[in-house]
């Protein structure tokens, strides 16, 4: 079933949903299931699975020289989506990225998903390779999420790259896109960023999932500005509890977001990560309660491979 149908069917009720990361290459999928199993108590109607492009690693050869090779540290997004649908009978939303994919490879990946009965995708530009200063598209691929979206929308209408194909069957993807309450780091300002978000929605994106935020006001202002800009699709808030002291400097650096003074001060006062986790969980519960009151369609938790804090938060709310 499509994400937007789940949201519509829930009516006024706020749902519980989550995003997971594929395990590191070589790890057993049962570790992942062990994290998801307890969360099924809160009946998530869909689970997002992130996509991780290759990274460059350097290995020392016998000669002492370094050899550069590309490796994908967290492969398996499509397999995990299928495994989750199979095991839990829950819909999955694979993230599809521009980076590292030619249009042909994207088309083939979408065909796989379609054949697997996966009806949802989140269309993204994708992160730059860690050792590259900026995002570089594949020479035969897409630059912006809107370009990727265009390809998926066309496939939904039965247009494949090869226009001479006979007996084509359209795909049927519900497409979500990303939104940034504190603006995308490369956008000159929020208004400009919203121009492109509106473009994605006008092209066929049916909902928006936000970057994580720790100050609900940022989300409320963002929703207001989106509505003023004519973006009228559901805007799903993405949230995450802080669980370690290092995150108060790492999260702003990686995700280009601010942490409220009160939260950062409380975390700084903590003597160990066990107490940081308690502060983070309590903050996330308060954030969630206010978001539910605001009437958000779902609370979308960034689990980042750890279910225990999410379980404790959900237990308080659902």
Ligand X SMILES: Cc1cc2nc3c(=O)[nH]c(=O)nc-3n(C[C@H](O)[C@H](O)[C@H](O)COP(=O)(O)OP(=O)(O)OC[C@H]3O[C@@H](n4cnc5c(N)ncnc54)[C@H](O)[C@@H]3O)c2cc1C
The answer to whether residues 152 and 158 touch, using CB atoms and an 8 Å cutoff, is no
Phi, psi angles (nearest 5°) of residue 317? -115, -30
Instruction: Answer yes or no whether residue 111 interacts with ligand X by CB under 6 A.
Output: no
Q: Which x/- pattern over 269-308 shows residues binding ligand X (rule: CB under 6 A)?
A: ----------------------------------------
| Mask for 177-206, x = binds ligand X (CB under 6 A) | -x-----x-xx-----x--x----------
Nearest approach, Cβ of residue 207 and ligand X (Å): 11
Written in H, E and C, the secondary structure of 121-173 is: EEEECCCCCCCCCCCCCCCCCCCCHHHHHHHHHHHHCCCCCCCCCCCCCCCCC
Least CB distance from residue 238 to ligand X, whole Å? 5
Q: Does 23 contact ligand X by CB under 6 A?
A: no
In whole angstroms, the minimum distance from the beta carbon of 181 to ligand X comes to 10
Nearest to 214 by CA among 256, 275, 273, 185: 256
CA nearest to 149, candidates 196, 211, 210, 185: 196
Q: Residues binding ligand X: what is the number (CB under 6 A)?
A: 21
Question: Where does this chain touch ligand X (CB under 6 A) — which range of 8-16, 35-43, 120-128, 156-164?
Answer: 120-128
Q: Should residue 95 be labelled a site residue for ligand X when binding is judged by CB under 6 A? A: yes
Q: Which is nearer to ligand X, 11 or 139 (CB)?
A: 139
Question: What's the CA gap between 40 and 44, in Å, rounded?
Answer: 6
Alpha helices in the chain, H assignment, sequence order: 3-10, 29-36, 77-88, 103-115, 145-156, 190-203, 216-228, 247-255, 261-269, 273-294, 308-317
Binding span for ligand X by CB under 6 A among 26-34, 63-71, 121-129, 213-221:
121-129
Sheet with 174-179, edge to edge strand ranges: 235-236, 207-210, 174-179, 120-124, 91-97, 46-49, 15-20, 298-302, 238-239
Ranges within 235-254 binding ligand X (CB under 6 A): 238
> What is the nearest approach in angstroms of ligand X to the Cβ of residue 94?
9
| Contacts of ligand X in 41-70 (CB under 6 A) | 50-51, 53
Q: Which residue numbers are catalytic?
A: 19
In terms of residues, how long is the chain? 318
- Give me the residues that bind ligand X (CB under 6 A), please: 50-51, 53, 95, 97, 124-127, 144-146, 178, 184, 186-187, 193, 196, 209, 211, 238
């Amino acid at each position: 079933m499509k994400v937007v149908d789940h949201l519509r069917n829930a009516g006024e009720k706020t749902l519980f949903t989550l995003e997971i990361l594929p395990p590191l290459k070589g790890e057993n999928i049962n570790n992942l299931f062990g994290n998801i199993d307890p969360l099924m108590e809160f009946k998530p109607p869909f689970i997002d699975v992130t996509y991780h492009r290759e990274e460059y690693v350097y290995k020392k050869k016998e000669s002492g020289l370094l050899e550069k090779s590309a490796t994908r540290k967290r492969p398996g997004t499509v397999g995990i989506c299928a495994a989750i649908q199979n095991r839990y009978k829950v819909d999955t939303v694979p993230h599809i990225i521009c980076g590292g994919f030619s249009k042909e490879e994207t088309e083939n990946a979408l065909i796989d998903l379609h054949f697997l009965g996966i009806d949802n995708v989140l269309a993204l530009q994708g992160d730059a390779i860690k050792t590259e200063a900026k995002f570089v598209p594949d020479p035969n691929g897409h630059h912006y999420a809107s370009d990727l979206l265009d390809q998926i929308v066309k496939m939904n209408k039965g247009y494949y790259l090869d226009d001479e194909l006979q007996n084509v069957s359209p795909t049927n993807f519900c497409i979500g896109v990303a939104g940034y309450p504190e603006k995308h780091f490369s956008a000159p300002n929020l208004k400009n960023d919203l121009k492109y978000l509106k473009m994605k929605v006008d092209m066929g994106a049916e909902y928006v999932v936000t970057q994580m935020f720790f100050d609900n006001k940022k989300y409320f202002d963002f929703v207001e500005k989106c509505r003023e800009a004519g973006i009228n699709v559901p805007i799903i808030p993405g949230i995450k509890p802080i669980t370690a002291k290092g995150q108060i400097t790492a999260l702003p650096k990686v995700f280009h977001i601010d942490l409220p003074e009160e939260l950062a001060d409380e975390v700084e006062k903590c003597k160990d990560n066990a107490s940081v986790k308690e502060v983070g969980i309590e903050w996330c519960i308060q954030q969630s309660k206010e978001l539910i009151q605001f009437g958000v369609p779902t609370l979308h938790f960034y689990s980042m491979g750890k279910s225990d804090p999410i379980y404790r938060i959900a237990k308080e709310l659902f």
